[in-house]
Structure 1
C-alpha cells in the first residue's frame, strides 16, 4: 500500500472546525509576524533534528524495515541524528495537533514536517513556517522541478520544498472497458453508469473536474466551482457516480466493481504491478499536478540541520533512490538519468515511467491549482459535503 492510498477524503471543514473550536476556547488563529517566527538555532552544537512525515513515504531496507537507507546515509555523512516519526495520517488531523502551539507562539517539537500543498498554503498564509536559506540549499536551487518551483501560495518556494509530487487523473480498466479513455467527459457516458467513483475530498477532487470543463485551474473562480458542483450533483442524482471514495477506489477498480475513477498516479503504478490492464490517463483537458512539501515550523530549534536534510534529498542520486521506492512523481528530474543508468533492469525501467518522470507531452497538460482561500473554504466545503454525503 502506498502512502497516498492512506489518504482519507477530508474536505477541509475539519480545519475550519479546529480553528473555530480553538477560537471558542479564547485562542484566536493568529497570524505570526516574520520577526516572531525564528528561535535561537541549536544546530551547530546539537547535531539532531525531528522529522515528521506520513507512513510509508520513505525508502526502507528490504530485510529490516526499521532501517531507512537514504536517511541513515545522511546521518552517517553529516553527523546529524534524525528522529523520524510517521505521525502524519491526515492533513486536518495534524493541523489540529500542532496548531495550538503555533498560534500561541510555542515550539511544536518538530524541525521538519511534510504536508500537502493545499494545507501548506494555510501555514504560509498564517505565517506559521519559516523562510529557508537557499544559500544553504544549492541542490534545491539547481535541481527542483521548474514546474513545481513557484506555486501561487508560495512564490519562489521560499517556505516549502516538495518531498514528492503526483498527479490526480483518471484510472480505468482498459480490458473490462474495451477502449481507451482520453477525456474527463467520458466518465459521464451511459456505458459507465454506476461504474464511476470520484474522490470525496474537496481539495483532492475539484481541480480535475474543473479542467474537464475547460477551466484554467491556476485562476478558477467561484462561478467555476459552483458550475462544477452543479454537474456533479446531476450525476449523483442519476446514479452515474457510484460513490465517493478515499483510498477505497483501489479495491473497487481491482475487483471490477468500478471501471473508471478519479485516482492518484502513485497508487496506479502499484496497481499495474498486479494488473497490467489498469491504465492511468492525464485527460486531454489536463490534470492536476500536486506536491507534498517539507516545511520548517516556527521556533524550530534545528533549522540549519533541517535545511541540510532537505538539500540532501535534492541530490539526484538520493532523489533517485527515494523515487525507486515510493513511485511518485519525482521532484528532481535529474534523478531520471541516475535510474536510467542502473544495471538493474527493473530500476532502469522506472526512468521511462511517465508517472514518475512525466514526459514533455504530459507536462503540457499538467497544472497546479490555486488553493481554496480561507474566505472561500467554509462555503465551498459546505456545498461539496452536501453532494458527497459527508
Structure 2
C-alpha cells in the first residue's frame, strides 16, 4: 500500500498554464548559437566557488518538476537543505528551451554571469551549450552517485559520453493522449490527423522535436537519421492537417487541462503529464509507429559561484531513495539505478509502471531526435514555425 505521507503526482513539469511558446518572429531573429565569437573556453570562464562560505544554490528548472512539502511529508528539496545547510533558490523559469535560452544567451556568449548555478534543459539544448563551451565540467569526486547509479540506457550519450557535464534529472516520452469519455482509442498519428470525429479537437506540441519526431515516424522515417525529403513529407502532412481544420492549436503546457476539460479530445502529449493528472479518462499510449524519448539534464553554467553545492545537489538526487521520492511525485522515467527497489517502500503501485520504470521491451519503441547543425536548427525550426504559426 502506498505511504500516505508521500504526495501523489498531480502535476508535472510540462502541464502548467504558462503559454511559453516562442513566436515565429522572435525565432527568426533569435541568435540561436551562431557566430564562433560566442564560443567560450570553460576553463577560462570560471568564477571562484564560494559554496563553503556562502551556503546557497540557485537552480532554474521547469515548473512543477519537483515534489513539495505536505502536512506529513518533507520534500526532497527540504531534506537537501537540512542535510547540507544550503539555502536553495529554486526558480521554475524554464517554460520552453528556446525561451529560456533567450534569457541567458547574451551572458553565456560574453562570459558573463547568469546569476544561476544550475540549469535543467532538454538534451538538444544541453548538448549545444556544452559544445559552445558554456557549461562547466563536474568534479567527478563530488558526484560519485552519478557514475554509480545512472541507468545504463542514459550512459554514453554522444554529446557527453562520460557524463562529465550533464546529469539527467528525469526522462520522458512523447506520444498520443486522448480522453476516453469523448472518443475511442487513437493509436496512430495518421488517425490523430485525419479521423473525422477528431476534427478541430486535436492539439500538437510547439516543441518541434516532439511533434515532428512523431510525424517522421508516421512516414516510416527514423527521427534520429532522416533526409530533407522525409522531413518535407512529414511537414506537408502537418500543414495539410492544419489547413483541413483537424488541428485546433499548437500548444505548450496547457494541453492537459484542455484534454481534461473536454476542449480537445486527443493530442500529442508528454507521458508524465497524463500519468500524473489523476483523471481516469485520460489515456497516454505509444503510437503504433513508436514514441519519442528525451531527457532533461542538470548542467552547471560558466561563472556559477556555487558549483560545489550544485554537485552536492546532483549527488543527492542520485541516491536511490531520493530519486524514488521524486519519481513518485513527477511520474517521469527515473534515471537512477536502485530507485525501483526504493519505490517498493514508497508506493508499490508504481513499481511496474513503465512510464517510470520502463522495460527493455517498452524502450524498444522509443526514438531520439537527430542532432542538428546550426543551419539545420534554423531551417527546421523556421519551417515548423511557418506551419504552426507560433
* Structure 1 and Structure 2 fold alike (TM over 0.5): yes
Aligned 8 A contact 2:22 2:99 in 1? no
- Note the residue ranges of structure 2 that are not aligned, 5 or more in a row: 1-10
Q: Please say if 1:19 is aligned against 2:31.
A: yes
Residues 11/360 of structure 1: CA separation in 2 closer, same or farther (3 Å cut): farther
Measured after TM superposition, the shift of residue 334 of structure 1 is 2.2
Determine the C-alpha separation between the residues in 1 that align with 2:239 and 2:361.
32
Determine the C-alpha separation between the residues in 2 that align with 1:156 and 1:316.
21
Aligned to 2:249: 243
Determine the C-alpha separation between the residues in 2 that align with 1:87 and 1:384.
24
Measured after TM superposition, the shift of residue 10 of structure 1 is 3.6
TM-superposition CA deviations, 1:15-52 (whole Å, max 9, x none): 663328x99xxx98610124323333333444432222
Determine the C-alpha separation between the residues in 2 that align with 1:316 and 1:126.
32
Residues 219/131 of structure 1: CA separation in 2 closer, same or farther (3 Å cut): farther
Aligned to 1:373: 373
Determine the C-alpha separation between the residues in 2 that align with 1:359 and 1:212.
23
Aligned 8 A contact 2:334 2:356 in 1? yes
Aligned to 1:340: 344
The one of 254, 264, 267 equivalent to 1:261 is 267
Q: Please say if 1:5 is aligned against 2:15.
A: yes
- Note the residue ranges of structure 1 that are not aligned, 5 or more in a row: none
1:243-322 matched pairs, under 5 angstroms: 243-271=249-277, 273-274=278-279, 276-322=280-326
Aligned to 2:132: 126
Query: What is the Cα-based RMSD across aligned positions, in Å?
Result: 2.7
SS of aligned partner of 2:324: helix
TM-superposition CA deviations, 1:111-159 (whole Å, max 9, x none): 1121222322221121110121333222111221222223343333321
Measured after TM superposition, the shift of residue 280 of structure 1 is 0.8
Determine the C-alpha separation between the residues in 1 that align with 2:245 and 2:120.
37
1:1-390 matched pairs, under 5 angstroms: 1-6=11-16, 8-10=20-22, 14=26, 17-19=29-31, 30-63=38-71, 69-178=75-184, 180-187=185-192, 188-271=194-277, 273-274=278-279, 276-342=280-346, 347-390=347-390
Aligned 8 A contact 1:49 1:302 in 2? yes
Residues 217/151 of structure 1: CA separation in 2 closer, same or farther (3 Å cut): farther
Count the aligned residue pairs: 377
Residues 104/209 of structure 1: CA separation in 2 closer, same or farther (3 Å cut): same
Residues 3/335 of structure 1: CA separation in 2 closer, same or farther (3 Å cut): same
SS of aligned partner of 2:47: coil
Which segment drifts farther, 81-90 or 277-286?
Answer: 81-90
Measured after TM superposition, the shift of residue 72 of structure 1 is 2.2
Determine the C-alpha separation between the residues in 1 that align with 2:243 and 2:105.
38
Aligned 8 A contact 1:14 1:92 in 2? no
Aligned to 2:3: none
